[in-house]
Amino acid sequence: MKLNELREIKGKKKLVMLTAYDWQMARILDEAEIDLILVGDSLGMVIQGYRDTKKVTMQDMLYHMRAVARGAKHTPVIGDMPIRSARTVKDALRNARRFVESGAQGVKVEGNKPEIIRVLLDAGIPVMGHVGLLPQTAESHRVKGKQPTEARTILSDARELDRLGVFSMVLECIPEALAGRITRAVMAPTIGIGAGKFCDGQVLVTNDILGYDQGFAPKYLKRYANLNKTIKRAIAKFQEEVLSGLYPDNKHTYH
């Protein structure tokens, strides 16, 4: 699937996007035939151990982009433009091109930045928009758009991004009714995270749905596995066998 074709399938099928930060996970997602892979700046939290995404650098993103691109042979990969990567139009264009050179088919830009988005699109770089909660600039992680004024701003931003020609847009942590209104108002497919069922698709952080971190539990997160427990059990078994001398046995030894 090409990114610029996504507008044509709006309303015909739900889109599934998940995050990847390494070759192995990218390969798994690719084999699972999901629609889109996002190399998200969420790696700041799930890979680097920061509280938020505000310390993630462009170098961090490119390192993980190259790894993911090697694993995703068929699924389009999107690079998340990190904080400070688009302070000027010149910076944004240079960094977006670096993403493409590293294997991205498109980039995601947080917020309503028409001048930057227009330049990227004119350069032939597909752009995914992002409205609602903007983690790179938000002071706290809370639902956006509950107040009428804030809701109108989010809707206006989404409409402007749509007019610019983004191939899709993420709606993060906004009321379901507002997400539905935006989805009906724009031609680009909407992909929700904490935005309810009326979006054209959904995205979650893969590490979260697999249950790596039991302490992270926003309302919108549904865990589909508990790898935290599974991994600990496997490690405990390995440790037990090493200490008891059961591993390595003859089967697992070269002769």
Q: Which positions are catalytic?
A: 172
Q: Is 78 helix (H, G, I), strand (E, B) or coil?
A: strand
Q: Is 202 helix (H, G, I), strand (E, B) or coil?
A: strand
Half-sphere exposure of 142 (CA within 13 A, CB side): 8
Distance, in Å, from the CA atom of 204 to the CA atom of 123, rounded to the nearest integer, reads 29
Q: Under 8 Å CB-to-CB from 181, ≥6 apart: which residues?
A: 155
Q: Which of 72, 39, 86, 37 is CA-nearest to residue 47? A: 39
- DSSP one-letter code for 168: E
**Residue 228 in tokens:** 């935290």
Give phi and psi for 101, each to the nearest 5: -65, -25
Distance, in Å, from the CA atom of 103 to the CA atom of 99, rounded to the nearest integer, reads 6
Q: Which of 41, 33, 13 is CA-nearest to residue 189? A: 13
Q: Are strands 168-172 and 106-108 parallel, antiparallel or unpaired?
A: unpaired
